[in-house]
């Protein structure tokens, strides 16, 4: 887990919609696995399905495949939000560590009849230890304990009354984040989080390491997450976490159930579970050569964001080309703007924070344009197209499964310099921009001639429209122009020229598509071809 990685790959368990479009047969999203055996190679099934406690289910002495019946447990969370719904979490009435478990595959009619705080009986279930397998699977050896149907349709969740949700168990996230192997999510770290799996917890005085960011390929409202103190991740499975005003270093108290999918997850159940007015969060790391993760976020010294900002030795000067050209992103902190003039070429009008930059002044060139992802940080006052800037950050590739990645610069701090810093668009043909060398123009300001508007985009497809030049169709994206796409009045027009940032839509069907982020509608009357 990398502190500044704002994007995660597709997650099979949570993004079932993805598989309506995918033929990746190597993924085994759910089901029994040959590795789900105990130390003696037995599947541990006692064949009885006798009533047990959740603590017994969470104990490794019970093997996967064992029939399970629970009596009188309390519903602590219900997933009724976003693109994937229907899962529930239950807990023993007395609460405590090892007292909760995730139930997968309950009938929708059973789930619809439930509310948080109901007491229920669970029958027809078996224990499962789930981890994503196959291509891109979880190789850590960790799994999440769940209950699933013994056979299709067998799992029943029956309401028996109304109880009291157990008090959240307090988790010392700072202590876990400061463990010796937290940066690698090693065995000590994993053992510290394991007792809380499936349990309703409170993690207090923790810092957000960034704003909520979308992951996966479905665009669902529940596909957002952000990292916190304790080397854990908050995901919006149950509620919209993008409406909470969370930014990097927001001090928070969080309540939620703990889950696991590549990372340990805290899942708040509603907006009330996210308190952004907390105090007492760890002081940002400022001692950058003591080999200690002082703020418990899993990153010590120069791997820590604050050290990259405050300690010049943690951010070697770079150029846009040195960031954009390599096949893999440069590691660690970087600083652009100190070795060459860096100019703002466009502002993201949708998130009102992120922006594009290019080497300048002059004319845009290949491998000289870059998207600066703000991660929830407010823009510096006065930042505008033509501003000269110095930016400290890290580099990552944003992609979803099967898509060509987009090189991004994850902003930590931006300083506006003096003087104008204009960059002119580079005239390019669509053949150059969409050919084998098209990637080198991603992030750069270009002008294309004789462009037809095929469609303008709508709110239903996030404002993504389509343009055509010389018989080649490409996307029109609305991040710079704002709104839901090109104005409806532009439908079927033919532009003599249109200028914008060349880009790659990683979410487009078929593994992505080249796109233009227009700065404005096109100019003049051109020839549609």
Q: What is the pLDDT of residues 233-292, one digit of tens each?
A: 999 999 999 887 888 889 999 999 999 999 999 999 999 999 999 999 998 888 999 888
CA angle at residue 270 from 269 to 275, to 5 degrees? 105
Position 217 scores a pLDDT of 57
Nearest to 499 by CA among 299, 364, 373, 382: 364
Residue 206 lies in a domain: yes
Q: Is the pLDDT of residue 372 over 50?
A: yes
**Owner of token pair 């560590």:** 97
End position of a domain, from candidates 129, 162, 195: 162
Position 211 scores a pLDDT of 84
Q: How far apart are CA 409 and CA 443, in angstroms?
A: 11
Q: Are residues 351 and 341 in contact, defined by beta-carbon separation less than 8 angstroms?
A: no
Residue 304 lies in a domain: no
Cα dihedral 57, 61, 63, 64 in deg (nearest 10): 40
Report the number of distinct structural domains present in the chain. 4
Residue 475 lies in a domain: yes
Q: What is the mean pLDDT of residues 39-49?
A: 37
Q: What is the mean pLDDT of residues 288-301?
A: 90
Q: How far apart are CA 309 and CA 327, in angstroms?
A: 26
Task: State the DSSP code for 47.
Answer: S
**Owner of token pair 């609305």:** 478
Q: Are residues 246 and 342 in the same domain?
A: no
Q: Is the pLDDT of residue 2 over 80?
A: no
Q: How far apart are CA 140 and CA 142, in angstroms?
A: 5
Position 218 scores a pLDDT of 60
End position of a domain, from candidates 362, 392, 423: 423
CATH number of the domain enclosing 448: 2.40.50.140
Nearest to 146 by CA among 31, 269, 9, 16: 31
What 3-state class would DSSP assign to 439? helix
Q: Are residues 356 and 410 in the same domain?
A: yes
Residue 5 lies in a domain: no
Q: Are residues 134 and 66 in the same domain?
A: yes
Q: Are residues 20 and 137 in the same domain?
A: yes
Q: Over the stretch 192-209, which tens digit does the pLDDT of each residue have?
A: 999 999 999 999 999 998
Position 404 scores a pLDDT of 86
Residue 282 lies in a domain: no
Q: Are residues 442 and 503 in the same domain?
A: yes
Nearest to 237 by CA among 452, 22, 84, 446: 84
Q: Are residues 389 and 254 in the same domain?
A: no
Least confident span in 10-24, 280-294, 486-500: 10-24
Q: Are residues 332 and 453 in the same domain?
A: no
Report the DSSP beta bridge partners of residue 513. Answer: 505
End position of a domain, from candidates 105, 139, 162: 162
Q: How much is the mean pLDDT over the chain?
A: 88
Position 172 scores a pLDDT of 96
Residue 342 lies in a domain: yes
Q: Is the pLDDT of residue 412 over 50?
A: yes
Tally Cβ neighbours within 10 Å of residue 121. Answer: 15
Q: Are residues 485 and 365 in the same domain?
A: no
Q: Over the stretch 61-108, which tens digit does the pLDDT of each residue have?
A: 999 999 999 999 999 999 998 878 899 999 999 999 999 999 999 999
CATH number of the domain enclosing 182: 2.40.50
Residue 305 lies in a domain: no
Q: 394: which residues sit within 8 A by CB, 6+ positions away?
A: 3, 4, 305, 308, 332, 333, 334, 409, 410, 412
Give the structural domain span for 518: 426-525
Q: Are residues 140 and 175 in the same domain?
A: no
Q: Are residues 88 and 130 in the same domain?
A: yes
Position 219 scores a pLDDT of 63
Residue 494 lies in a domain: yes
Q: Are residues 418 and 320 in the same domain?
A: yes
The tokens describing 35, both together, are: 């590795």
The tokens describing 307, both together, are: 């050290």
Position 444 scores a pLDDT of 98
Q: Are residues 133 and 57 in the same domain?
A: yes
SS3 of the chain: helix, strand, coil, percent, to 5: 15, 35, 50
Position 514 scores a pLDDT of 96
Q: What is the mean pLDDT of residues 347-355?
A: 93
The tokens describing 501, both together, are: 């940032």
């Amino acid at each position: 887990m990398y502190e500044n990685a704002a994007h995660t790959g597709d997650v099979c368990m949570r993004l079932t919609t993805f598989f309506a479009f995918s033929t990746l047969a190597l993924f085994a999203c759910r089901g029994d696995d040959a590795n789900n055996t105990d130390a003696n190679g037995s599947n541990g099934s006692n064949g009885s399905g006798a009533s047990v406690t959740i603590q017994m289910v969470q104990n490794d002495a019970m093997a996967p495949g064992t029939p399970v019946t629970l009596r009188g447990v309390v519903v602590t969370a219900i997933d009724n939000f976003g693109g994937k719904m229907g899962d529930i979490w239950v807990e023993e009435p007395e609460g405590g560590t090892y007292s909760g478990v995730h139930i997968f595959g309950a009938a929708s009619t059973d789930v619809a009849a439930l509310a948080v705080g109901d007491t229920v009986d669970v029958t027809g279930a078996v224990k499962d230890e789930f981890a994503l397998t196959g291509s891109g699977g979880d190789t850590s050896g960790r799994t999440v304990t769940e209950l699933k149907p013994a056979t299709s349709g067998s799992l029943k969740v029956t309401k028996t009354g109304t109880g009291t949700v157990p008090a959240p168990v307090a988790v010392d996230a700072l202590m876990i984040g400061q463990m010796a192997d937290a940066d690698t999510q090693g065995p000590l770290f994993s053992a510290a989080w394991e007792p809380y799996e499936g349990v309703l917890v409170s993690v207090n005085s923790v810092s957000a390491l960034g704003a909520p960011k979308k992951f996966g390929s479905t665009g669902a409202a529940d596909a957002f997450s952000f990292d916190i103190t304790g080397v854990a991740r908050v995901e919006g499975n149950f509620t919209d976490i993008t409406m909470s005003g969370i930014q990097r270093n927001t001090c928070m108290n969080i309540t939620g159930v703990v889950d696991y999918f590549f990372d340990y997850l805290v899942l708040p159940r509603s907006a009330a579970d996210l308190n952004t007015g907390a105090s007492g969060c760890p002081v940002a790391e400022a001692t950058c050569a003591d080999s200690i993760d002082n703020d418990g976020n899993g990153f010590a010294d120069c791997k820590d964001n604050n050290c990259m900002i405050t300690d010049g030795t943690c951010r070697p000067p770079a150029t846009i080309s040195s960031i954009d050209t390599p096949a893999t992103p440069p590691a660690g902190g970087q600083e652009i703007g100190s070795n060459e003039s860096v100019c703002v070429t466009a502002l993201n009008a949708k998130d009102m924070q992120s922006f594009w930059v290019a080497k300048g002044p002059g004319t845009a060139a290949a491998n000289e344009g870059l998207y600066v992802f703000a991660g929830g940080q407010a823009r510096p006052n006065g930042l505008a197209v033509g501003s000269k800037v110095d930016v400290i950050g890290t580099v990552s590739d944003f992609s979803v499964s099967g898509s060509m990645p987009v090189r991004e610069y994850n902003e930590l701090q931006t300083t506006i310099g003096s003087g104008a810093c204009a960059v002119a668009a580079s005239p390019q043909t669509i053949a150059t921009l969409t050919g084998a060398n098209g990637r080198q123009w991603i992030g750069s300001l270009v002008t294309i001639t004789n462009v037809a508007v095929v469609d303008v985009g709508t709110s239903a497809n996030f404002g993504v429209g389509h343009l055509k030049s010389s018989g080649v169709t490409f996307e029109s994206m609305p991040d710079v122009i704002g709104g839901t796409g090109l104005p409806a009045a532009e439908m079927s027009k033919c532009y003599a020229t249109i200028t914008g940032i060349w880009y790659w839509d990683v979410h487009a069907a078929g593994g992505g598509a080249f796109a233009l982020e227009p700065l404005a509608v096109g100019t003049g009357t051109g020839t549609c071809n």
